[in-house]
Amino acid sequence: MSTSPLDPRQQATVDVVQVAVQSRGYWATVLGRILYDKVTMICGLILLLIILSTVFADWITFTDPYKANMLKRLKPIGTPGYPLGGDEMGRDMLTRLLYGGRLSLFMGIAPVVLALGIGGLLGLTAGFLGGRINMLIMRIMDVFYAFPSVLLAVAISGALGAGIFNAIVSLTLVFIPPITRVTESVTTQIRNLDYIEAARASGAGTFAIIRVHVLSNVLGPVFIYATSLISVCIILASGLSFLGLGTEPPEPEWGLMLNTLRQSIYVNPEVATLPGLMIFITSLTFNLLSDGLRSAMDIRYVRGTS
Amino acid sequence: MLTYLIRRILYVIPICLGVTVLVFGLVHLAPGDPLSAVVPPDAPEEMVQELRVAYGFDKPLPIQYATWLGRVLTGDLGVSVARGREVTSELALAVPNTLILAVGGTLLGFTLGAFFGGVAGYFQGRWIDKLATGIAITGVSVPHYWLGLVLVIIFSVEMNVLPAIGMGPNGSSTWVWDTEHMKHLVLPIITLSVIPMGIITRTVRATVAEILNQEFVQALHAKGLLNHQVLMHVVTNAAPTTLAVMGIQLGYLLGGSILVETVFQWPGTGSLLNSAIFERDIPLLQGTILVLAMFFVFLNLLVDLVQSAIDPRMVR
């Protein structure tokens, strides 16, 4: 398409064509794109499989994840009854990996959801109100930005002590500043657009403007950003457990399992790598899924001229 | 330009103050006062009270903060409870060791990332782009502490060609430029380089793709420049963004090396943090976090200043 301005009559025909193309609506278009995106679909399926098999671990495993058996210590992969071998206490690896996924996934997702709620609210407030309140909120966030994320997570959980709850608190605090910053910048951009002015001129109240006009436009980008954080959060949460700051033994959790099996790399290296492999696969699928979602929801391509 | 520089430099002061508040506050996040972790539970009450007065924990928090800040400003970070040595001298030993790892990891990550990203951006949409993008996303998704373990299994356990742990022979904790120490460096640096590699690949790919779509590139071709001459223009235009990302990544590796240092038992700041946490060594914990955060703040400042010097568009 040429860049020169079209005359009004041509403009009208172009509009009609665009309406015809877009009549499916935004969300239908997004869904249609995702269904056509092989990588995203495969990742979604793998992730669904991981989530379902960890959630329903009670039904698909037959052994107790806590029951030790000294005779089966560090059995190799493929031992009868121990399809993925035994860990350093002779517990079935497959069972523990499935049960362990519950905590790893929970600790990877919960902090991001919490941070999305708190940081989203802070960013929305700062972006919409602007002025002094914006200054105050964003400068406090800048202080948190002075810490690399791993350092901040380790510092807060180190100070609070080990435990699942403390790890979730520290990871939530790690993710609030970036989510606040993204929400704030998107909100500020939208707040200054003409149509907000128009809505106000036609009598819309502040909350109606936020709810209808701001939120519906902010939610998309912020949501996509948050999904990309889940993969980071899974790695960080398992990292905290790996350091001994998250979950405590004998609870099955991938990071902690990686830590306790670390002593066994000379005896049975294959089994020792399994929990880390699970963290890797989960984080990779979350990352690819988030990328797929990003390109499916990108409005710029909806009106693509190609 | 000058006002931007001054504003940017002055802005470091409130940030640093905020950081000290946060680091000081961290210790008081834990339930009970900092002594309860060090003093055995059956210690006589008078002794605990005496210690509390001696350490100043009986005073209100703002006053404690002010005295602590006063000492920090004069370069006194206190004495490590567990090791009985000055925190500053512990840090003086550990920081260079971490710096070697972080700089090495960043340089390797930068070299690989710039190469992959450049190739991917240049051949957008082809299989080679997909390969490079795949490597990048693997780099940012892999739990690097696990990758370190896998590398140890491959190169130390199975092949027995590289040392698994430590910084040098016989538990050496001071860096020497000899082959033995270099051998110990290989695996940790590869492990640390994957995240910057992934992030820099993505940045460079996006930047190069964006530059190639600009009209001036067509103009350069139209002017009759050869491909490699146009490439030079692309490189100079992509440099500011890429260098900025690299600088931030260096900061992340410096502050976040604790996981890798734990895997390889590297005697750096990460190991210091680790032992400070588990021995509840409050002065060491505070001091290490403070110094690492300060490094990050000043690295960010440096990145901004360098970027505004080479890319005038940054100054608004």
pLDDT digits (tens, 9 = 90+) for A230-249: 999 999 999 999 998 888 88
Give the pLDDT confidence of B150-162 residue by residue, as tens digits: 999 999 888 888 8
Q: Indicate the range of A101-110, A124-133, A190-199, B180-189 predicted with least confidence.
A: A190-199
Residue appearing with tokens 């209808």: A212
Residue appearing with tokens 């948190």: A144
CA–CA min distance A3, chain B (Å) = 14
**Residue B224: pLDDT band by 50, 70, 90 thresholds?**
confident
What is the distance, to the nearest Å, from the Cα of residue B17 to the centroid of all Cα atoms in its chain? 20
Structural domains of chain B in order of their starting residue, each with its CATH number: 87-269 (1.10.3720.10)
B88 pLDDT higher than 70: yes
Helix, strand, or coil here: A86?
strand
Residue B18 with chain A: CB contacts under 8 Å: 139-140, 142-143, 146
d(CA A83, CA A97): 12
Say if residue B240 is preceded by a cis peptide, omega within 30 of 0. Answer: no
What average pLDDT is seen over chain A?
A: 82
Q: Phi and psi for A197 in degrees, rounded to 5?
A: -55, -45
Interface contacts (A, B; CB < 8 Å): 132
The listed range with the strongest mean pLDDT (A10-19, A48-57, A122-131, B102-111) is B102-111
d(CA B193, CA B196): 6
- Minimum CA–CA partner of B296 in chain A: A146
A1 pLDDT higher than 60: no
- Minimum CA–CA partner of A283 in chain B: B141
Amino acid letter, residue A8: P
Report, as an integer, the average pLDDT of A46-56: 91
**Residue A305: pLDDT band by 50, 70, 90 thresholds?**
very low
CA–CA min distance B270, chain A (Å) = 9
Report, as an integer, the average pLDDT of A275-292: 92
8 Å CB contact of A272 and B285: no
The listed range with the strongest mean pLDDT (A225-229, B44-48, B307-311) is A225-229
Q: Shortest CB distance from B149 goes to which of A262, A284, A288?
A: A262
The maximal CA–CA distance of chain A, rounded, in angstroms, is 84
| C-alpha torsion B302→B304→B306→B311, nearest 10 | 180
* H helix or E strand, kind and range, residue A222: helix A215-243
A118 pLDDT higher than 90: yes
**ipTM of model:** 0.88
Question: Residue B87: what pLDDT?
Answer: 87
Report, as an integer, the average pLDDT of B220-242: 86
Asked if the C-beta of A169 comes within 8 angstroms of chain B's C-beta atoms, the answer is no
CA–CA min distance A269, chain B (Å) = 7
**What Rg do the C-alpha atoms of chain A give, in angstroms?**
24
Q: Indicate the range of A89-103, A221-235, B126-140, B286-300 predicted with least confidence.
A: A89-103
Contact A127, A119 (CB under 8 A): no
Report, as an integer, the average pLDDT of A221-237: 91
Q: Indicate the range of A44-48, A218-222, B49-53, B177-181 predicted with least confidence.
A: B49-53
CA–CA min distance B308, chain A (Å) = 20
Predicted TM-score (pTM) of this structure: 0.87
DSSP code of residue A75: P
CA–CA min distance A30, chain B (Å) = 21
Report, as an integer, the average pLDDT of B284-302: 91
Question: Residue A19: what pLDDT?
Answer: 47
d(CA A91, CA B208): 51
User: What would the DSSP string read from start to end of chain B?
Assistant: -HHHHHHHHHTHHHHHHHHHHHHHHHHTTSSS-THHHHS-TTS-HHHHHHHHHHHTTTS-HHHHHHHHHHHHHTT---B-TTT-SBHHHHHHHHHHHHHHHHHHHHHHHHHHHHHHHHHHHHTTTSHHHHHHHHHHHHHHHS-HHHHHHHHHIIIIIIS--S--SSSSGGG--S---SHHHHHHHHHHHHHHHHHHHHHHHHHHHHHHHHHHTSHHHHHHHHHT--HHHHHHHHHHHHHHHHHHHHHHHHHHHHHTTHHHHHHHT--SHHHHHHHHHHTT-HHHHHHHHHHHHHHHHHHHHHHHHHHHHH-GGG--
The maximal CA–CA distance of chain B, rounded, in angstroms, is 87
Residue B152 with chain A: CB contacts under 8 Å: 265
d(CA A151, CA B98): 14
Residue B147 with chain A: CB contacts under 8 Å: 276
d(CA B124, CA B119): 8
Report, as an integer, the average pLDDT of B288-313: 86
d(CA B267, CA A141): 32
Buried b (16+ CB within 10 A) or exposed e, B123-133: eeeeeebeebb
A4 pLDDT higher than 60: no
Report, as an integer, the average pLDDT of A28-39: 83
Q: Shortest CB distance from B149 goes to which of A231, A239, A265?
A: A265
Asked if the C-beta of A228 comes within 8 angstroms of chain B's C-beta atoms, the answer is no
Q: Phi and psi for B81 in degrees, rounded to 5?
A: -65, -45
Cα–Cα distance list, B145 to A167, A260, B174, B225, B262 (Å) = 18, 13, 23, 47, 8
Question: Residue B111: what pLDDT?
Answer: 94
Higher pLDDT, A109 or A301: A109
Question: Residue B32: what pLDDT?
Answer: 59
Question: Residue B36: what pLDDT?
Answer: 64
**Residue A205: pLDDT band by 50, 70, 90 thresholds?**
confident
Residue A276 with chain B: CB contacts under 8 Å: 143, 145-147, 149-150
In sign, the C-alpha dihedral spanning A180, A188, A287, A289 is positive
CA–CA min distance A152, chain B (Å) = 9
Residue B86 forms beta bridges with which residues? Answer: B79
8 Å CB contact of A150 and B258: yes
Question: Residue A11: what pLDDT?
Answer: 47
**What Rg do the C-alpha atoms of chain B give, in angstroms?**
24
Task: Assign a CATH topology to domain A9-39+101-303.
Answer: MetI-like fold (1.10.3720)
Percent of chain A with pLDDT over 70: 88
User: Which pair of tokens denotes residue B154?
Assistant: 């491959």
Cα–Cα distance list, A49 to A96, A231, A257, A282, B124 (Å) = 16, 17, 21, 11, 33
Give the pLDDT confidence of B181-215 residue by residue, as tens digits: 888 899 999 999 999 999 999 999 999 988 888 88
Half-sphere exposure of A7 (CA within 13 A, CB side): 1
User: Which pair of tokens denotes residue B170?
Assistant: 């016989």
Question: Residue A302: what pLDDT?
Answer: 44
Higher pLDDT, A60 or A225: A225
Question: Residue B162: what pLDDT?
Answer: 86
A290 pLDDT higher than 80: yes
User: Which pair of tokens denotes residue A4?
Assistant: 């020169």
- Minimum CA–CA partner of A147 in chain B: B293
Q: If 0-12 CB within 10 Å is exposed, 13-18 middle and 19+ buried, where does residue B260 land?
A: buried
B94 pLDDT higher than 60: yes
Q: If 0-12 CB within 10 Å is exposed, 13-18 middle and 19+ buried, where does residue B59 land?
A: middle
Residue appearing with tokens 């009970």: B32
B35 pLDDT higher than 70: no
- Minimum CA–CA partner of B256 in chain A: A150
User: Which pair of tokens denotes residue A1?
Assistant: 């398409």
Contact A30, A297 (CB under 8 A): yes
Q: CA angle, corner B173, sides to B170 and B179, nearest 5? A: 65
Question: Residue B83: what pLDDT?
Answer: 77
Residue B142 with chain A: CB contacts under 8 Å: 280, 283-284
Q: Shortest CB distance from A265 goes to which of B21, B153, B276?
A: B153
Question: Residue B283: what pLDDT?
Answer: 85
